[in-house]
Amino acid sequence: MIIKDAQFLVSNTDVRKCPEGTMPEFAFIGRSNVGKSSLINMLTNRKGLAMTSSTPGKTMLVNHFIINNDWYLVDLPGYGYARRGKEGREQIRTVIENYIQERMQLTCLFVLIDSRLEPQQIDLEFIEWLGENGVPFCIIFTKIDKIGKGKLTSNRHLFEQKLLENWEELPLMFETSSEHRLGKEEVLGYIESVIREVRK
């Protein structure tokens, strides 16, 4: 897919105030600092489209972008940022859960996983919750420029083993680096194919 146009539309915490209409929507989620906003900028080829920061907890709102005047892309706040405190974390959790459960246009959720880490409980629990709620999702292993091929393979294998404890089939998985611009064609190609499918 060629991205000819990408525009920021609106940020909010209330799913009822998200853009109306029936365009398919693809959202990016994951732990704080996993690289959601950086990935969105890499995919859209626009450096400052989504705000990034080395300090976790940068994205606090549900941010809508419109791509090629054809589909919505959403940058979500990260979950599990410890320094936000219990109350802050729960607030963000409510925003995320309401969005995912109520946003009818949500076509696929990309769950970002830091490829450098062994499986984290918080990610596994979140994916479990997606299963319970019947949310279609894919996995993206991020920051693969920061890790060797061997460690990447073993972390991915461990993650797959954990998923197979609860799932019969593995979800689709991608590996990306926003720094080295890897995985772009794969993720965008998938989005394009899903859009084609839902419009059949």
Q: Is 32 in the site for ligand GTP (CB under 6 A)?
A: yes
Kindly report the backbone phi and psi dihedral angles of residue 36, in degrees, each rounded to the nearest multiple of 5, phi listed first.
-65, -55
Q: Toward Mg ion, which CB reaches closer, 55 or 166?
A: 55
The contact pattern for ligand GTP, residues 72-111, with x = CB under 6 A and - = no contact, is -----xx---------------------------------
Three-class secondary structure assignment of 118-171: CCCHHHHHHHHHHHHCCCCEEEEEECHHHCCHHHHHHHHHHHHHHHHCCCCCCC
Binding mask 41-70 for ligand GTP (x = CB under 6 A): -----------xxx-xxxx-----------
Residues 131-190 that bind ligand GTP (CB under 6 A): 142-143, 145-146, 177-179
CA-closest candidate to residue 175, choices 166, 184, 167: 184
Using CB under 6 A as the criterion, which residues of the chain lie in contact with ligand GTP when the complex forms?
A: 32-38, 52-54, 56-59, 77-78, 142-143, 145-146, 177-179
